Amino acid sequence: MSVSVRSLRNVGFAVVGSIVVAGLAIGAPVDLKDKGVGPIKQVKLGPIDPALAKQGEAVFMQKCSACHKLDERYVGPAQRGVTKRRSPEWIMNMTLNPTGMTAEDPIAQQLLGEYMVQMTFQNVSEADARAVLEFFRQSDAAAPAAAGAAPAAAAPAGAAPGGAAKPAK
């Protein structure tokens, strides 16, 4: 046990290195293609459904907020921006099958290495997991400059190539 914990800690350090390189507030890389491991194979997204998001917020407060805040790292990652770094299927599989995810999914394994706590299944139904996903989508839509946003996107739009940084005088 202590051996595997130590090796996970090493993964954590490797991840810390990538934070600096990527300039992001999260360690594990953005990956919107990984669908994760679990019952969810395909999620069809429509326009954000505010009633579903409200239901999801209630589930989040009841079953997730002991470990997750929207804007702060807590026991687990800050959740704002999660829809910009993970696919909908991955988010739902992480919600429904966290131990299977940390056993088999490379991103979930990196997160475990970074946070050193195994997320546990919170007895969430598939419908509730979908509602929480809607709550995350709504939170991310309300804050476009979320933690997961790429730094490159912050470059001034009108900057002239080469001369952008020149002071006015």
Q: In terms of CB distance, is 102 or 138 closer to ligand HEC? A: 102
Whole-angstrom distance, CA of residue 43 vs CA of residue 40: 7
Whole-angstrom distance, CA of residue 44 vs CA of residue 133: 12
The amino acid at 144: P
Whole-angstrom distance, CA of residue 126 vs CA of residue 95: 9
- The least CB distance from residue 164 to ligand HEC, in Å, is 32
Binding pattern to ligand HEC, positions 25-44, x when CB under 6 A?
A: -x------------------
- The least CB distance from residue 100 to ligand HEC, in Å, is 11
Using rule CB under 6 A, residue 80 touches ligand HEC = no
Q: How far is CA 11 from the centre of its chain?
A: 18
Q: How many CB atoms lie within 10 A of CB 120?
A: 9
Kindly list the residues in this chain that would bind ligand HEC in the complex (CB under 6 A).
26, 63-64, 66-68, 75-77, 82, 86, 91, 94-95, 98, 102, 108, 111-112, 115, 117-120, 122, 124, 132
